A = this chain, B = another copy of it.
């Protein structure tokens, strides 16, 4: 009936998406391979056909999430041309991820809490932070070249931006406050523009 060959990429993606839904619905430690199989409408056995084991699958889930977010940021920033537009686009994208892709920070939080006990996760997450950091640094260098910002140590700036974005997202994941959220996001953008300039 359904095609039986060349299913590899399709099945892998199907299983990864099912696993994401499980993380979002139950949390990283609280679902089984059976849960993933049910969510993906597959048998448990087939998962082991496409992934070595559960841990491997879960690492791939994280990589997939990171890849999506990196592409989103890249796309939004690439549309802008000048430093001012780029930095604005970047900060706004970061500030709006929780609204546009609410699962992202939830998934990140789940993996982040496991990273201190798992070197592979540590590596994958560190690389993601590094990539985003270098991305900001690239923008800042443009600003410096354009002469619109002072020379800054780009690394701490990048870290502070990422940290603040992550901290805000986690804060709201747990408290469910929404009242001051917009004000916070505006302030977040303002603070860092002032900090840089």
Instruction: Report which A residues bind B (CB closer than 8 A).
Output: 26-30, 106, 109-110, 112-117, 122, 125-126, 129, 153, 155-156, 159-160, 162-168, 170-171, 173-177, 180, 183-184, 187-188, 191, 194-195
Q: How many chain copies does the complex carry?
A: 4
Tell me the smallest distance from the CB of A178 to a CB of chain B, in Å. 12
* Pairwise interchain contact B184-A160, C-beta atoms closer than 8 A: yes
Q: Looking at the assembled complex, report how far the CB atom of A172 sits from the nearest CB atom of chain B, in whole angstroms.
A: 9
Does the CB pair B173–A160 fall under 8 Å?
Answer: no
14 pairs of residues in contact across A and B, judged by CB atoms under 8 Å: A27-B114, A28-B113, A29-B29, A30-B117, A109-B112, A110-B113, A112-B173, A129-B174, A153-B180, A155-B180, A156-B183, A160-B168, A163-B167, A163-B184
CA distance A168 to B166 in the complex (A): 9
A195 neighbours in B (Cβ, 8 Å): 187, 191, 194
CA distance A174 to B107 in the complex (A): 15
Pick the 4 closest A-B CB pairs, nearest first. A167-B167, A163-B167, A29-B29, A113-B113
A186-B66 Cα distance, complex, nearest whole Å: 30
Q: Which residues of B contact A168 (CB under 8 A)?
A: 159-160, 163, 167
A162 touches B156 (CB 8 A): no
CB distance from A25 to the nearest CB of B (A): 8
Return the contact of A183 from the options B26, B153, B163, B165 (Cβ within 8 A): B153
Q: Is the CB of A174 within 8 A of B122?
A: yes
Are A163 and B171 closer than 8 Å at their CB atoms?
yes
Decide: A170 and B175 in contact? CB cutoff 8 A: no
A120→B155 CA distance, assembly (Å): 38
